[in-house]
Amino acid sequence: MYLGIDIGTSAVKAVLVGENEALLAEAEEALAIARPHPLWAEQDPQDWWQATVTVLGRLRCAAPRAFAAVRGLGLSGQMHGAVLLDAAGDVLRPAILWNDGRAHAECAALARRLPTLGHVAGVPAMPGFTAPKLLWLATNEPETFRRVARILLPKDYVRFRLTGEAVTDMSDAAGTLWLDEARRDWSDDILAATGLTRAHMPRLVEGTALAGSLQATMAQALGLPAGLPVAGGAGDAAAGGIGIGAVNDGDAFLSLGTSGQYFVTTGSFRPYPEAYVHAFCHALPGRWFQMAALLNGASALGWAAKILAADDIGALLASTEAAFSGRPARPLFLPYLTGERTPHNDPHARGVFFGLAPDVTREEMVQAVLEGVAFSFAEAQECLAHAGTHAKAVAAIGGGSRSRFWMRLMASALERPITLYSGGAKGPAFGAARLARIATTGEDPAAVCRTPAVAEMIEPDRNLAAAYRPAFARFKRLYQALKSEFRTD
């Protein structure tokens, strides 16, 4: 039995997986985001820990014998978050998250100091990454900055609580901007440019390597075996790839969770910072990936449901599908509620409904939201094409992939077939469990990281795809027309 835990943005999720990869139990606990100022997004690391304890307790109740027989534990999590510890290992302030946009000025300063940054770290400086956050901290909270002894990523804080070890894996370290992606090692030059040294960084391991073992006190409290091996694990994007077997050159998938990613595995480090495509280390040795990162995924649908006073998102989707005419919605929706990364690098961008009329229905507005997110993925696909990466077909994971209707719209916007896998909605946690297995048994990753059973293949609707082309062009023009209006400072 193997445990996989995903420290997400909206929830902590955990899965208990058998040796034959059967899903024996799963649990999740919701999380909240604090936004104390415009552009800010923070969470208390203690909330991640309490949610982890909660979901593990639920797994223990659901499958007590299997839980007690667990052989390895793997971690996945939201990337880029800055968890700041003092010399005693205590948290200094709330973690600054991946979708926090406060450090835009610091990104410009970092780019001036290191003009080749994007070709070393795999992506230009953007506010969501960890390094600019520390520059912001040095300027705006200097006393806190002086007390920082260690910087961890979200999943690695949970590892620290479990094992007492400060460790991260290559794929999560890749999202800090401090990693030399080609060398798979910390960059002393980039660290120095942010006033830091290797002493502030966790130890680096591959995602398939052992990264510590469960402390005895934790094992007793959680009901797990003492000394349980804990794998290096992965950032959520790479863990999603491990979970669906996207480990070979050209394997592609899109992840539709709180945020969105369009991910393609590569056999070498291939940076293309000009289009804000991320080129990062994968969770397997000798593998990298290119990724377009979207800050607004299924969270845009959650927002729409809230403002439309729809308590049941499933029912809202069902009524939208029932009213679907086979044509694009009349309104256009820009889904940039929390800014955007690929391809705009614009923390000031915001959501927009355009083209409303007195007879526009609730269902048309929801359809416009679904299409706006799909068009964002289509624009991400164009960026990857500029980087020389062309995916003929893509898989889909994440909570948004549960909606077959949304996937039909997505396939038509991308003009690509979309593969849905069994258990795809729990992809990162399942990927973490696979990494736990590899780290524990030493098995060949190729033998473990197989594609799950195909649940469904959704083909593009040719007529809808043709109708989407002019709507997609309007979508892109709308952002360009409004770009200067988003920034108010």
Q: What is the mean pLDDT of residues 299-316?
A: 96
> Cα dist. 465→7, 60, 109, 389, 392 in Å?
36, 47, 42, 21, 16
Q: Please, what sign has the CA dihedral across residues 184, 187, 190, 191?
A: positive
Q: How far apart are CA 96 and CA 101, in angstroms?
A: 10
User: Which pLDDT does position 425 carry in this prediction?
Assistant: 58
Q: Is the pLDDT of residue 426 over 90?
A: no
At 453, the pLDDT band (50, 70, 90 cuts) reads confident
Which residue, among 266, 342, 330, has the nearest Cα to 297 in the 3D structure? 342
300 pLDDT tier (thresholds 50, 70, 90): very high
pLDDT of residue 390: 87
Q: Average pLDDT in the 82-89 region?
A: 98
Question: Average pLDDT in the 193-210 region?
Answer: 98
Question: pLDDT for 254-299, tens place per residue?
Answer: 999 889 999 999 999 999 998 889 999 999 999 999 999 999 999 9
What is the average pLDDT score of the chain? 95
Q: Report d(CA 198, CA 180) in Å as an integer.
A: 13
**C-beta of residue 282 within 8 angstroms of C-beta of residue 449:** no
- Report the catalytic residues: 236
Inform me whether the pLDDT recorded for 204 exceeds 70: yes
Reply yes or no on whether the pLDDT at 209 is more than 80.
Answer: yes
pLDDT tens digits for range 11-60? 999 999 998 888 999 999 999 999 999 999 999 999 999 999 999 999 99
**Residue 235 contacts by C-beta under 8 Å, 6 or more apart in sequence?**
76, 77, 78, 79, 153, 155, 169, 171, 172, 174, 175, 280, 283
Do 383 and 307 form a contact (C-beta atoms < 8 A)?
no
Report the range of poorest mean pLDDT among 137-151, 369-383, 422-436.
Answer: 422-436
Please report the pLDDT score of residue 489 as a whole number.
55
**Contact partners, residue 137, CB within 8 Å, separation at least 6:** 82, 84, 144, 145, 148
Using the Cα atoms of residue 256, residue 257, residue 260 and residue 261 in order, give the sign of their dihedral.
negative
What confidence score (pLDDT) does residue 423 get? 64
Predicted model pTM: 0.89
- Binning pLDDT at 50, 70 and 90, where does residue 488 land? low
Cα–Cα distance measured from residue 438 to residue 260, given in angstroms and rounded to the nearest whole number:
27
The percentage of the chain sitting over the pLDDT mark of 70, rounded to a whole number, equals: 99
Query: Which pLDDT score, from 0 to 100, does residue 258 have?
Result: 87
Measure the CA–CA gap between 78 and 469, rounded to whole angstroms. 33
What is the per-residue pLDDT across 162-188, written as a single tens digit (0 to 9) for each? 999 999 999 999 999 999 999 999 999
Cα–Cα distance, 75 to 158 (Å, whole number): 8
SS3 296: coil
Please tell me the predicted confidence (pLDDT) of residue 20.
87
CA distance 273 to 98: 18
Mean pLDDT of the region 345-356? 95
- DSSP code per residue over 320-333: HHHH--SS--SSEE
Do residues 383 and 341 make contact, with C-beta atoms less than 8 angstroms apart? no
